[in-house]
Copies of this chain bind each other. A is one copy, B any other.
Amino acid sequence: MKAEIITIGDEILIGQIIDTNSAYISSALNKIGVSIYQITSIQDDEHHILEAFTAAQSKVDLVIITGGLGPTKDDITKHTICTYFNDELVLNQGVLDHVAHLFKEYIKKPMLDANKTQAMVPSKASVLINEFGTAPGMWIENDNTIFVSMPGVPYEMKGLMENEVLPRLQKQFKLPYILHKTFLTYGMGESAIAERIELFENELPVAIKLAYLPSLGRVRLRLSTSGTQKEQVEAAMEEQAAKLLPFIEDIFIGYESDGAFEQVIARLFIDKGKTLAIAESCTGGQMVERFTAHSGASQYLKGSLVTYATQSKVDILGVDPEVIKEHSVVSAQVAEQMAVNARKLYKADIGISTTGNAGPLKGDSDAEVGTVYIGIATENGVTAHHFMMGNHRERVIGKAVNKALELLKEELLSK
């Protein structure tokens, strides 16, 4: 089964928002065996929406549409669906009751006329109740193509996908099994890896595709395949994965299916019963945010400090001002004291710290832009690592956090 995603909304076309819905929908459909042929983003313009519907229907079996279902005048998707299918809007009592219920129980404001229009749906559509909002999803079958229309608000759309769209597709169709296996690597560039695994790549069966995905000092290698027999697909993948691994053993971090890298580390902390304290300077809270973005961080994360100003490193973290004077605030010595003292303050097993200059301007030290020191303290002592991470602020911070996570992993797996 092939699908096209059509996202409707001027805000995407003028770059005011990033279209995160498409990535979620692609990933969710892919997992149940639907491959995405194309993602198309267009304006809230009737002519263009109709053109996109026609083009999509000629190419794919499933058209997923998001956006343009709000109660205000700039949203025209529902009317355009009626035009396309030669249909008309009719009142759906189930939706009206649901909207009234949402207003009474959650929004706790009187329902407006504009909200009532949310209950008007094309007569040919099956309604998909939107648990988290007032605009319903719609499912229309036409000449062997299924059109599904959902609101663009990400959590409403996700609720509809999980509760309605994915189960219906799985029930109605016998879908193939699509499998990806992604190897996270670090410390080696795309071309160098390609040269190293050339032999493997040349002997890869045509049914399995290899892709290189470089990002912030890491390259992800993805193997992809599909088939009707789950066991065969998995066996074929395992065979190739087992062949690839020896080529990259020294640069291999883990599989992407294990979750984000910080989740891999979180599990290591929990499994080993260890706790963490973080003291950040140049990374400005991005490291702790990576951990706390996932539920359950309180099981191993004692806490963190962002000591952005030099004086706060002295006052709160207890870094020795003489050491700062002698070595500068961006130094191995300061990174070490930050890690040691964060560990003590929070009574944690491991303390980790960052100090550096992410740019674009020089801060409280003369350190070159891109300089980063990472300190890591345990009951056995403390070490600091020095890095030069380029001159692009966002990337320096991202790379520094990635590197700190790698050091934590090495520490947790040592001995």
A245 within 8 A of B: no
A42 within 8 A of B: yes
In the complex, which residues of chain B have a beta carbon less than 8 angstroms from the beta carbon of A254? none
B15 to A24, Cβ gap below 8 A? yes
Q: How far does the Cβ of A146 sit from chain B's closest Cβ, in whole Å?
A: 19
In the complex, which residues of chain B have a beta carbon less than 8 angstroms from the beta carbon of A19? 18-19, 22-23, 39
A306 partner, pick from B73, B304, B358, B363, beta carbons under 8 A = B304
- Cα–Cα, bound, A392→B133 (Å): 13
Given contacts A16-B222, A18-B20, A70-B214, contact A112 B195 (CB under 8 A): yes
Question: In the complex, which residue of chain B has the Cβ closest to the Cβ of A114?
Answer: B191
A16 partner, pick from B182, B192, B301, beta carbons under 8 A = B182
A153 within 8 A of B: yes
A343 within 8 A of B: no
Q: How far does the Cβ of A36 sit from chain B's closest Cβ, in whole Å?
A: 4
In the complex, which residues of chain B have a beta carbon less than 8 angstroms from the beta carbon of A13? 26, 35-39
Interface 1/0s, chain A 358-401, versus B by CB < 8 A? 11110110000000000000000000000000001111000000
Question: In the complex, which residue of chain B has the Cβ closest to the Cβ of A25?
Answer: B15
The size of the chain A interface, using a CB distance under 8 A, is 104
Q: How far does the Cβ of A148 sit from chain B's closest Cβ, in whole Å?
A: 16
In the complex, which residues of chain B have a beta carbon less than 8 angstroms from the beta carbon of A296? 361
- Cα–Cα, bound, A311→B358 (Å): 32
A309 partner, pick from B182, B195, B301, B358, beta carbons under 8 A = B301
Question: In the complex, which residue of chain B has the Cβ closest to the Cβ of A364?
Answer: B298
In the complex, which residues of chain B have a beta carbon less than 8 angstroms from the beta carbon of A311? 302, 347
A114 to B194, Cβ gap below 8 A? yes
A295 partner, pick from B70, B132, B359, beta carbons under 8 A = B359
- The SS class assigned to the A binding surface is mixed
A199 within 8 A of B: no
A107 within 8 A of B: yes
In the complex, which residues of chain B have a beta carbon less than 8 angstroms from the beta carbon of A287? 285
Interface 1/0s, chain A 291-321, versus B by CB < 8 A? 1110111100111111111011001100000
- Cα–Cα, bound, A212→B222 (Å): 39
A207 within 8 A of B: no
A180 within 8 A of B: yes
Given contacts A289-B289, A308-B301, contact A27 B38 (CB under 8 A): no
- 29 A–B contacts, CB within 8 A, in A order: A10-B209, A11-B211, A13-B35, A15-B22, A15-B27, A18-B18, A19-B22, A38-B40, A39-B40, A70-B214, A72-B191, A72-B212, A73-B194, A73-B201, A115-B191, A284-B289, A284-B293, A284-B297, A285-B292, A288-B306, A302-B309, A302-B312, A303-B307, A303-B312, A305-B306, A306-B306, A312-B346, A315-B345, A315-B346
